[in-house]
Amino acid sequence: MSSETVLRILPFVVLFLVHHFVLAPLLPKRKVLYGILTALLLGLFAFWCFWGGHKPPMPPELRGPDPGGHGPLRPEWMELALGILLVAGDWGLVAYRRMKQNERKLEQLRAENLHQQLEALRFQINPHFFMNTLNNIQSLILTDPDKATEVVNEFSKLMRIVLYEGNGPTIPLSREIEYLKHYIALMRLRYPESVRIETEFPDKTGSAVVPPLLMASFAENAFKHGISYDSASFVKLRVTEEEGHLIFLCSNSSHPGKAEAQHGLGLDNIRKRLELLYGTDYTLRTETQDGTYDVVLAIPTNPTQLMATE
């Protein structure tokens, strides 16, 4: 390949590389910045086409016809048109590939949600949980019928949320908190008064959304591994909103022999689910210190990436 040919091709290669690897990644979140920088890039390319210094002349037979009938079309216009077509073609390729990636991510998310619901039914709402709750209800029927009615109502609401409202990628934060409240009400019935249960939930949740049963999974794990009948036990749940993120804190007492099991919660699966939903825009941290097991989870209140997959 001659040096003249390289000089003609090199600007097109640079145009493609800059657009593909520098500008295209700005989409779709930073559309305005992408538009400004792309216009600037094409402006620089047009400057090269018309005023880029000495370039080897293009043979007349390669010049296109002039629609106005004034002779051959100037090669600068052909070069600019090719550059614009190159950018447009690359934009279409990037958009198509991103669409396919979103489709695959959506399918993964649906499969993950289905797995989450099956896990909830198999492990969290298990026969042991059913039997304990029903036995407590049976005892209350004899001693406090009004309380028994209230518990049955709580239990039915909890099951309704689990079975019918966990099909999408998200549910309103208010519904997740409602599930937590119903579940905690049943746990208060199951465990003695010596078990300290503390909660702090926001009165208003606005339009915030969360993955269904995500916070509930940590809460149920806290009751499963953090309660001991032989020593003082506690569970603390807190949900707050800070700078566009939901902060969920779950703390429970840590007892010898149960700490390892608590760490055995499917954290890898939960992290995978969070990555599918939020990419890198989340925080999940666990820590055991001074007889306390803490979980800190931070997720966006209204994630744009997640909304695009709904």
Instruction: Check whether residue 163 and residue 262 sit in a common domain.
Output: yes
Residue 38 to residue 51: CA distance in whole angstroms: 19
Residue 174 to residue 178: CA distance in whole angstroms: 6
With vertex at residue 17, the alpha carbon angle to CA 16 and CA 18, rounded to the nearest 5 degrees, is 95
Instruction: Check whether residue 20 and residue 154 sit in a common domain.
Output: no
pTM (two decimals) = 0.57
Name which residue leads in pLDDT, 157 or 181.
181
Residue with tokens 């370039």: 55
Q: Kindly state whether residue 119 falls inside one of the protein's structural domains.
A: no
pLDDT at 232 over 90: no
Instruction: Check whether residue 80 and residue 166 sit in a common domain.
Output: no
Instruction: Check whether residue 86 and residue 180 sit in a common domain.
Output: no
The boundaries of the domain holding residue 303 are 125-309
Instruction: Check whether residue 173 and residue 205 sit in a common domain.
Output: yes
Instruction: Check whether residue 287 and residue 165 sit in a common domain.
Output: yes
DSSP 158-186: HHHHHHHS-SSS-EEHHHHHHHHHHHHHH
Instruction: Check whether residue 147 and residue 220 sit in a common domain.
Output: yes
Q: Kindly state whether residue 289 falls inside one of the protein's structural domains.
A: yes
Query: What's the structural domain count of the chain?
Result: 2
Give the pLDDT confidence score for residue 62 in this predicted structure: 47
pLDDT in tens, 97-155: 888 888 888 888 777 776 666 565 445 445 656 676 778 788 888 888 888 888 888 88
Q: Is 227 helix (H, G, I), strand (E, B) or coil?
A: coil
Instruction: Check whether residue 209 and residue 256 sit in a common domain.
Output: yes
Instruction: Check whether residue 61 and residue 160 sit in a common domain.
Output: no
Give the pLDDT confidence score for residue 233 in this predicted structure: 92
Residue with tokens 């599918």: 276
Instruction: Check whether residue 158 and residue 292 sit in a common domain.
Output: yes
Q: Kindly state whether residue 114 falls inside one of the protein's structural domains.
A: no
**Which of 47, 68, 102 is a domain's end point?**
102
Name which residue leads in pLDDT, 268 or 294.
294
Q: How far is CA 178 from the centre of its chain?
A: 22
Instruction: Check whether residue 87 and residue 204 sit in a common domain.
Output: no
Residue 172 to residue 228: CA distance in whole angstroms: 33
Residue 272 to residue 97: CA distance in whole angstroms: 22
